[in-house]
Amino acid sequence: MTKTDPTTGHSPASLKEPFAKGDVARPDAGTSDVARSDPAAISAFLDAAAKAPATDARARIVFALDATMSRQPTWDRAAHWQAEMFEEAGRIGGLDVQLVYFRGFGECRASKFVRDARTLHALMGKIDCRGGHTQIGKVLSHAIAEAKIAKVDALVYVGDAMEERADDLAAAAGTLSLYGTKAFLFQEGRDPAASAAFADIARLTKGAHVRFDANAAETLRGLLRAVAAYATGGLTALEDLAARDGSARALITALKS
C-alpha cells in the first residue's frame, strides 16, 4: 500500500521532481546544499511539520523568493515577517506554506508544505543568498506541478529582477491560471523589465503586482499578511483586514486594476 504524505495527503512519489531531473531538490534531500550545512536540523524541522494533523479548511501558498545576492536584506526581513501570514490565516482557517527559492548556477529548491511560522523561519534561516540569474520560469512550472496535485490558492513571489524570456513566463502564467492559482508578485525597486513581466503574470493569473521600496520594505510585511487573508478567506477577509491595514488596501487596488 502506498503511504501518503501526512502534510499534503498525497503520496511522496507524486511530489518528487516537479522540474526536470537535476533542476530542483527539496531542502531535505541528500543533494541539497542546505541539507549539507546542517542535515539533522533541517530533517527535524521538516519532520515536525509533516507530523501535524491535516484538516480540510487549509489554504495552500507557494512562497517563492529570489535568493540571488542582491536579495539578502529582503530575504532576512521576509524570514521574520512570514510569521504574520500564519497569524492572519489562523484567524480565518489554516495555512500550509511551501518555500521555493533560487540562487547560484541553476539552483532552484522547494521545501515540503509546512504549517507553522517557526518551522518556515528556521528553514529560511539556514539559507544564504548567492549570485546568479533569475529562474522565475522554474518557479511557475513548480507551482503548476503542485497545483496539479492539490489546489494552490496563491503563488507569492518576491524579487527585484527578471532575466528570462517574457513570452515564456507569460505562457507559464497562462497555464497556472487554468488551475485557479493567483500569482502575487511583490517587486522591490523599479526595474522596468521586471515590472512589465510581473504585471503580465499578475494579469494572466488574475493576481496582483505591487512594488515596494527598499527604504520602506516593511510594506512587504503587510502584503504577506494580506495575501494570507485573501488565500484563506477570499475578498471578504481581505476587505476586513483593509479596514485596519494600508497594505491590504493596496493589494485590493492591485487586484482590481
Write down all domains in the chain, each with its CATH number in brackets.
Answer: 21-44+56-256 (3.40.50.410)
CB neighbour list of residue 223: distance below 8 Å, 6 or more residues apart = 184, 186, 210, 212, 247, 250, 251
Nine cell digits for residue 227 = 495575501
* Reported confidence tier of residue 91, pLDDT bands at 50, 70, 90: confident
Cβ atoms of 170 and 202 within 8 Å: the answer is: no
- Measured between alpha carbons, how far is residue 172 from residues 41, 197, 238 in Å? 35, 12, 27
Mean pLDDT over 109-127 rounds to 91
Give dist(CA 233, CA 186) in Å, integer. Answer: 20
HSE at residue 78, side-chain half, CA atoms within 13 A, is: 29
Burial group, residue 40, by CB count within 10 angstroms (0-12, 13-18, 19+):
exposed
pTM of the entire predicted model: 0.78
pLDDT, tens only, 16-73: 333 333 344 444 433 333 333 345 554 554 455 444 444 456 899 999 999 987 777 8
Q: What is the pLDDT of residue 176?
A: 98
Cβ atoms of 159 and 69 within 8 Å: the answer is: no
In the predicted model, what is the mean pLDDT of the chain?
81
Nine cell digits for residue 141 = 512550472
Count Cβ atoms below 10 Å from residue 11 Cβ, excluding itself.
Answer: 13
Taking alpha carbons only, the member of 156, 83, 75, 80 closest to residue 117 is 83
Q: What percentage of residues in the chain have a pLDDT greater than 70?
A: 76
Q: What is the pLDDT of residue 43?
A: 52
- Measured between alpha carbons, how far is residue 227 from residues 7, 119, 161 in Å? 21, 19, 21
- Report which of residues 81 and 240 the model is more confident about: 240
Q: What is the pLDDT of residue 79?
A: 83
Q: What percentage of residues in the chain have a pLDDT greater than 90?
A: 57
* Reported confidence tier of residue 128, pLDDT bands at 50, 70, 90: confident
Residue 99 has pLDDT above 60, yes or no: yes
Residue 179 has pLDDT above 90, yes or no: yes
Q: What is the pLDDT of residue 47?
A: 54
Q: No. of H helices and E strands in the chain?
A: 10, 7
pLDDT, tens only, 193-243: 999 999 999 999 999 999 988 666 778 889 999 999 999 999 999 999 999
